Amino acid sequence: MIDLAVVDLSRLQFALTALYHFLFVPLTLGLSFMLVIMESIYVMTRRPIWRTITKFWGTIFGINFVLGVATGITMEFQFGMNWSYYSHYVGDIFGAPLAIEGLMAFFLEATFVGLMFFGWDKLKPVTHLFVTFLTALGTNLSALWILIANGWMQNPVGAVFNPDTMRMEVQDFGAVIFNPVAQAKFVHTVSAGYVCAAVVVLGVSAWYLLRGKHKAFAKRSMTVAAAFGLASSLSVVVLGDESGYALTDNQRMKLAALEAMWETEPAPAGLTAFGLPSLADRTTHFEVKIPYVLGLIATRTIDKPVIGILELVAVAEDRIERGVVAYDALERLKANPDDRVARGQFETVRNDLGYGLLLKRYVADPREATPSQIQQAAWDTVPNVPLMFWTFRIMAGIGFLMIALFATAFLLCTLRRHETKWFLWLAVVAIPLPWIAIEFGWLLAEVGRQPWAVEGVLPTFLGASSLTVPQLWITIIGFTLFYGVLAVVEVGLILRAIKKGPFAQHETLDPLLEGSAENPPSAAPAVA
């Protein structure tokens, strides 16, 4: 039997390392394109202040980028280390986007990021801008391929189980790439990254303005952030990935869970604005509903119902029963690969094999499961409803706040009233908000996927490696300490860079060389 402690610790480690990795990635995604915008203005106007602006935000980008890359190494290898059976079971499909990401995207960003930092005096301004653009393109393509991989876990299209190799194999790679869930996720996720970067640029600029420092620099940065942030915050909310929620049973379950909607809601469904969902009673107390809205969001119509948790559990129960038949056929095929009857039987129910495997949590051989175990397994398909309900509300709430923040910023910048005190304070205070929304978004997507590693195909608890509890504690504690120290160092360095300000480079070249006679600092006053 599977050691469930190992499964839980592996999940904990994955969540910790992924959430940590995802502290840095959004800023990279957004700031890289903001650098492209700032540098484009420099190349078009040739005013030195825009070069200073680009280089300053480039410094912040660099400190952040390096941790995104470093912690990404863990992600690339962790599937094999901690999710070895998962890697075997779906590697034929899931490995491809990861490899393509390396080849098409990561090589691009990593090769050009060096030149972006070191090539200022070696390249013509237009060429350097192109290098910056390729870095930004690389980071965003990276996100695309990772989300194609993740989208497949949420909606595993284009693949079938092969009983000869005991794994999923690709049938239609086009379907994997153009998976609608992946496309929706990509747009939503990179937009969130753009908002994150815009909030940082806005907040830091606001801080300078409050302090009365670097005004020319800060006002220009703020204007770029306001425009970029307004567009991105609209995009992140409007193109939220709810559009994919009607596609599969698990996606439907996710929607029902985040709405804490126990019973099927007749069309057009209302959106629960507030309530206290209770797992024990399987009901939501003190509900406050806004009519029509959920039906519109989830089905894009006013005449389709939105299916509730209880009905979806009944569907799961049916599928588990068919899954047991699939499991039985597979066992006979394993014993004799030439058994035609078993193969034929397997073909008809192969899509429910994963549901049969859910029973392995309770019984070694799913064929021996009792009706109550089947019912238990069916209820396992319901993710943690209160967690889903609240994380969604906090995430979406912050999304709307961001639109308000950037709409205000845009208005003030247009009116040339950059130095509106109350707003500057708001902008500084808002800096942590996008991270909260982004991390909650990850939780929503991945907790909502449970109990599946791959929806309907492989339960999470079967995906883990055959490791021991002490091994996992060593790596969890190791990663936590190590990552903790790196986070402190990184935040310290970013704060230091902000404190030194955008003109630090012009004052001293290298602090160690200060005062050494043969190295007079090159004075390059770069204020427009």
Partner 1 sequence: MELPLDFATLRLIWWALMGVLLIGFALTDGFDLGVGALLPFVAKTDAERRMVINTVGATWEGNQVWFILGGGAIFAAWPFVYAVSFSGFYLAMFLVLAALILRPVAFKYRSKRPDARWRSAWDWALFVGGFVPALVFGVAVGNVLSGAPFQLDDTLRSTYHGSLLGLFTPFTLVCGLLSVCMLVLHGAAWLGVKAERGPIQDRARTIGLVAGFLGLALFAIGGLFVAYGDLGFRITGVLDTAGPSNPLRTTVEAAPGAWLDNYGRYPWMMLAPTFGFFGAMIAMIGLQLRNEPMTLAGSSVSALGIISTVGLSMFPFILPSSISPQSSLTVWNASSSHMTLFIMLVVTVVFLPIVLAYTAWVYKVLWGRSTTQALNTNPDLY
Residue 422 contacts residue 397 (beta carbons within 8 Å)? no
Cα–Cα distances in angstroms (integers) from residue 195 to residues 51, 112, 188, 249, in the given order: 23, 24, 11, 31
Of these, 33, 94, 217, 355, which contacts partner 1 (CB under 8 A)?
94
- Characterize the bridge pairing of strands 167-170 and 283-290: unpaired
Per CB under 8 A, contacts with partner 1 among 195-224 are: none
Is residue 321 involved in binding partner 1 (CB under 8 A)? no
Q: Which of 188, 298, 193, 178 is nearest to 239 (CA)?
A: 188
Tokens of 191: 């937009």
Q: Which is nearer to partner 1, 166 or 273 (CB)?
A: 166
Q: Which of 248-256, 277-285, 424-432, 517-525 is the region at the interface with partner 1 (rule: CB under 8 A)?
A: 517-525
Is residue 517 involved in binding partner 1 (CB under 8 A)? no
Q: Which is nearer to partner 1, 436 or 493 (CB)?
A: 493
Count of positions (residues) in the chain: 528
**Taking the complex as a whole, how short is the minimal distance between the CB of residue 510 and partner 1, in angstroms?**
7
Long-range contacts of 333-336 (CB under 8 A, 24+ apart): 333/163, 334/163, 334/166
Per CB under 8 A, contacts with partner 1 among 152-181 are: 162, 164-167, 169-171, 173
Is residue 482 involved in binding partner 1 (CB under 8 A)? yes
Q: Which is nearer to partner 1, 107 or 274 (CB)?
A: 107
The end-to-end CA distance of the chain, in Å, is: 70
Is residue 525 involved in binding partner 1 (CB under 8 A)? no
| Amino acid, single-letter form, for residue 197 | A
Of these, 279, 302, 341, 489, which contacts partner 1 (CB under 8 A)?
489
**Taking the complex as a whole, how short is the minimal distance between the CB of residue 500 and partner 1, in angstroms?**
10
Q: Which is nearer to partner 1, 117 or 390 (CB)?
A: 117
Is residue 505 involved in binding partner 1 (CB under 8 A)? yes
Q: Which of 271-279, 304-312, 369-377, 467-475 is the region at the interface with partner 1 (rule: CB under 8 A)?
A: 467-475
Residue 320 contacts residue 351 (beta carbons within 8 Å)? no
Report the distance separating Cα 108 and Cα 101, nearest Å: 10
Residue 254 contacts residue 232 (beta carbons within 8 Å)? no
**Taking the complex as a whole, how short is the minimal distance between the CB of residue 82 and partner 1, in angstroms?**
7
Cα–Cα distances in angstroms (integers) from residue 110 to residues 104, 116, 243, in the given order: 11, 10, 33
For the chain, the farthest-separated pair of C-alpha atoms sits apart, in whole angstroms, at: 89
Of these, 44, 114, 341, 404, which contacts partner 1 (CB under 8 A)?
114
Is residue 19 involved in binding partner 1 (CB under 8 A)? no
Of these, 48, 91, 125, 180, which contacts partner 1 (CB under 8 A)?
91
Per CB under 8 A, contacts with partner 1 among 386-425 are: none
SS3 6: helix
Q: Which is nearer to partner 1, 2 or 394 (CB)?
A: 2
Which stretches within 239-363 are classed as H helix? 249-258, 293-299, 309-335, 340-349, 353-357
**Taking the complex as a whole, how short is the minimal distance between the CB of residue 401 and partner 1, in angstroms?**
33
Per CB under 8 A, contacts with partner 1 among 59-78 are: 62-63, 66-67, 69-74, 76-77
Of these, 31, 43, 113, 253, which contacts partner 1 (CB under 8 A)?
113
Is residue 239 involved in binding partner 1 (CB under 8 A)? no
Exposure of 525 by Cβ count < 10 A (0-12 exposed, 13-18 middle, 19+ buried)?
exposed
**Taking the complex as a whole, how short is the minimal distance between the CB of residue 511 and partner 1, in angstroms?**
4
Binding-site size, partner 1 (CB under 8 A): 82
**Taking the complex as a whole, how short is the minimal distance between the CB of residue 59 and partner 1, in angstroms?**
9
The conformational region for residue 320 under phi > 0 = left, psi -120 to 50 = alpha, else beta, is alpha
Sign of the CA dihedral 277, 282, 288, 292? positive
